[in-house]
Amino acid sequence: MAQGAGDVPVVYLHDIKRQYVQGETTLTILDGAKLALWAGQSVALVAPSGSGKSTLLHIAGLLESPDDGEVYVGGTATSGLSDVERTQIRRTDIGFVYQSHRLLPEFTALENVMLPQMIRGLKRSETVKRATEILAYLGLGDRIKHRPAELSGGEQQRVAIARAVANAPKVLLADEPTGNLDPHTADHVFRALMQLVKATQVGMLIATHNMELAGRMDRRVSLEAGRVIELD
Ligand code: ADP
Ligand code: MG
């Protein structure tokens, strides 16, 4: 794990505050949350439902803005950036995996993995090559022409992972990625994620309720009173 002097985290959350106002009440979800995520490191975010895990991941992934604090991606402060610039960073540096696969149903596995690369402007032939390689790497070499409905839950989730890493992001954020899977399939998908961290040196933050999986990651954190705390 790269953490030498002079290195910067792939994502650094500094004093993040996030509130939701609903009618008369203000819910403070994050309140001074700090977290450094390093290249090649897998971090489990384990906290009760409703404690702000998804909120933290969305903020780290530039999908949502904090009310206060700063999100640094690869050392770059993002709060002053335009929407276009933030979108650009999201496309090139950040991969996101959700609990449900969110694949496009009318496209094949291959096309689903090609799309983020095409949006980024890569040549079609290049995206075919790269998408085929990633899918094969994740054990889906004989499933590339299948549509999501023709794949098992674990296969769908591995395609979603392939899509998330298609642009070789620095950061992989996964929100309960194995939450809908049976234990055996969850283990398979989890191993695929861990394998990617080692192979690509992406920094990975996974929100999970699965303590067994969390125990196999490099580091465990939780949320308490709106702050990130280290477990162990
Ligand atoms: P977790 O992922 O840990 O279950 P979330 O980050 O989804 O938690 O939500 C944290 C809290 O913030 C919950 O109490 C939720 O109801 C509230 N919340 C999340 N999103 C919104 C929103 N868009 N508007 C109002 N409240 C929200
Ligand atoms: Mg959640």
Mean pLDDT computed over 120-148: 96
In a domain, 91, yes or no: yes
CATH code for the domain in which residue 66 is found: 3.40.50.300
* Atom number in ligand 1 closest to CA 22: 25
Task: Tell whether 186 is covered by a domain.
Answer: yes
Ligand 1 atom closest to the CA of 56, numbered from 1: 6
Report the nearest atom of ligand 1 relative to the CA of 55: 6
Q: Does the C-beta of 51 come closer than 6 Å to ligand 1?
A: yes
Does residue 5 sit within a domain? no
**Residues spanned by the domain of 176:** 11-231
The answer to whether residue 223 is domain-embedded is: yes
Average pLDDT, the chain: 95
Q: Report the pLDDT value the prediction gives residue 3, as an integer from 0 to 100.
A: 59
The tally of domains found in the chain comes to 1
Residue 232 confidence (pLDDT): 81
Q: Is residue 4 part of a domain?
A: no
From the CB of 50, is ligand 1 less than 6 Å away? yes
Question: Does residue 223 register a pLDDT over 90?
Answer: yes
Is 1 a domain residue? no
Position 3 in a domain: no
How high is the pLDDT of residue 26? 95
- pLDDT, tens digit, for every residue of 46-71? 999 999 999 999 999 999 999 999 99
Q: What is the pLDDT of residue 197?
A: 96
Rounded to the nearest whole angstrom, what is the distance from the C-alpha of residue 132 to the centroid of ligand 2? 31
Q: What is the pLDDT of residues 6-61, one digit of tens each?
A: 689 999 999 999 999 999 999 999 999 999 999 999 999 999 999 999 999 999 99
Mutate to test the pocket of ligand 1, among 28, 29, 67 (most ligand atoms within 8 A of CB): 29
2 within domain boundaries:
no
Percent of all residues in the chain with a pLDDT value above 70, rounded to a whole number: 97
Residue 20 CB–ligand 1 contact under 6 Å: yes
Distance 16 CA to ligand 2 centre (A): 17
DSSP string for the chain: ----TT---SEEEEEEEEEEEETTEEEEEEEEEEEEE-TT-EEEE---TTSSHHHHHHHHTTSS--SEEEEEETTEE-TTS-HHHHHHHHHHHEEEE-SS----TTS-HHHHHHHHHHHHT--HHHHHHHHHHHHHHTT-TT-TT--GGGS-HHHHHHHHHHHHTTT--SEEEEESTTTTS-HHHHHHHHHHHHHHHHHH--EEEEE-S-HHHHHTSSEEEEEETTEEEE--
Its pTM stands at: 0.95
